[in-house]
Each structure stands twice: as structure tokens, then as C-alpha cells.
Structure 1
Amino acid sequence: MVQEEDAGKGGDAGRGDSKARKCPICGKPATPRHRPFCSARCADVDLHRWLGGVYAIPAEDSDEAPPLAGEPRK
């Protein structure tokens, strides 16, 4: 009987996810197959944004170039 009770949980038992997560692209409920997205389309949209440079981590440019391997530091 224990197997029947656990059968519909999809392997998420014990995670504590009481709410369904939403797709970060369109806001629809995420599906287990494309998690955290709702579909392959939304996953592809996200990948395109990463590859196109829409998502970027800001960085500061330094005035000096880093030393090359084998060069002493100043």
C-alpha cells in the first residue's frame, strides 16, 4: 500500500515544495520534463537570451592587464 501512496509524488517527496514553481519565462506552471521551464520553447528562449548576451554579469575593467604566466608580479 505504501507504493500506491507514493506513486503520484513524482520523486519530489521530502523536498518540501508545497507550491508549484512557475516558468521564469512565461509564468505558467513548470513541468518535470523541462524544469524549471514549462516547455522546450521557454527553455530555448532562455538559452537564446544567455547566448545573445541579454543576461550578463557586470564586471569592472581594470587599468592593468593581469600578469602572464611566468612573469613576476609588481
Structure 2
Amino acid sequence: MSKPKPCPICKKPRSEEFAPFCSARCRDRDLAQWFNDGYAVPGRPAAPEEIAKED
């Protein structure tokens, strides 16, 4: 039997309520990383003219 994976933020045991995190605090820290560009999804860089079309 494999060992359960720990919380990806603090490495404590996961909580069923906040899976895959251990607490609301770690869940919110992860969300803040996404909002502050701490994480990125790989892809090709956008051309400047494509960015201008979105505004």
C-alpha cells in the first residue's frame, strides 16, 4: 500500500476537507501563488499584437 501524499505547500498530512491541502491556509497560499504569477502554465509567448487585441 502506498503512503498518502502530503500537502504540497507545507508537507503535513492532507485533510479530506481541504484536499489536496492540509488546511484552508495552505489552500489560500496556493491560490495566492496563482494570482501573483508564482505559477505559470507553459506555452508559446504571446505576440505584442495579440496582447493589444485583448485590451
TM above 0.5, one fold?
Answer: yes
* Counterpart code for 2:22: C
The runs of 5 or more residues in structure 2 that have no matched partner are 51-55
| Match of residue 52 from structure 1 | 36
- Aligned-residue CA RMSD (Å): 2.3
Greater C-alpha radius of gyration: 1
* Residue 19 of structure 1, CA deviation: 1.9
Quick one: structure 1 residues 45 and 62, their matched pair in 2 at CA, closer, same or farther if it must change by over 3 Å?
closer
Structure 1 or 2: more helix by fraction: 2
Give % identity: 45
Partner Cα separation in structure 2 for residue 25 and residue 43 of structure 1 = 8
Partner Cα separation in structure 2 for residue 62 and residue 42 of structure 1 = 31
Q: Is structure 2 residue 14 aligned with structure 1 residue 21?
A: no
| TM-score relative to the length of structure 2 | 0.72
| TM-score relative to the length of structure 1 | 0.55
